[in-house]
Amino acid sequence: METAAPVTFRSIRASDLELLREFVRKLSRDTAYRRLLSGRTPSEEELVRWTAIDPAREAAVVATTGRGPDERLAGVARYVMESPDDTDFAIVLADAWQRRGLGRALLERLVAMARVHGVRRLSGLTLSTNIPMLSLARALGFRARRQADAFTTMLTLDLPGEAMPAAYHPVSCEFHDVLEALATTRRRTQIRFNGSDGLPQQRDAVIQDVFSREGAEYIVISSGETLRLDQLVAVDGAQAAQAAR
Ligand SMILES: CC(C)(COP(=O)(O)OP(=O)(O)OC[C@H]1O[C@@H](n2cnc3c(N)ncnc32)[C@H](O)[C@@H]1OP(=O)(O)O)[C@@H](O)C(=O)NCCC(=O)NCCS
Q: Whose alpha carbon is nearest atom 3 of ligand 1?
A: 103
Per-residue pLDDT of the chain (245 residues; tens, 9 = 90+): 544 568 988 889 999 999 999 999 999 999 999 999 999 999 999 999 999 999 889 999 999 999 899 999 999 999 999 888 889 999 999 999 999 999 999 999 999 889 888 899 999 999 999 999 999 999 999 999 999 998 999 999 999 864 455 588 899 999 999 999 999 999 999 999 987 656 778 999 999 989 988 788 999 998 888 899 999 999 998 888 776 65
Query: How crowded is residue 41: how many other Cβ atoms within 10 Å of its Cβ?
Result: 10
φ/ψ of residue 224, rounded to 5: 95, 0
Return the ligand 1 atom nearest residue 107 CA. Answer: 3
Return the ligand 1 atom nearest residue 102 CA. Answer: 7
Q: Whose alpha carbon is nearest atom 10 of ligand 1?
A: 101
Nearest partner of 73 among 24, 29, 32, judged by Cα? 24
Query: How far, in Å, from the CA of 165 to the mean position of ligand 1?
Result: 30
Range list for CATH 3.40.630.30 in the chain: 8-117
Q: Name the CATH topology of 8-117.
A: Aminopeptidase (3.40.630)
- Strand, coil or helix: what is 96? helix
Judge residue 118's burial from the number of C-beta atoms within 10 Å of its C-beta, 0-12 exposed, 13-18 middle, 19 or more buried: middle
Give the neighbor-by-neighbor strand order of the sheet with 86-93.
8-11, 58-65, 72-83, 86-93, 121-127, 152-158, 143-146
**Which of the listed CATH numbers 3.90.950, 2.30.30, 2.60.40, 3.80.10 matches domain 173-239?**
2.30.30
Residues with CB under 6 A from ligand 1: 31, 34-35, 90-93, 98-104, 124, 126, 130-133, 135-136, 139
E strand or H helix at 59: strand 58-65
Range list for CATH 2.30.30 in the chain: 173-239
Give the global pTM: 0.76
Nearest partner of 35 among 99, 111, 89, 104, judged by Cα? 89
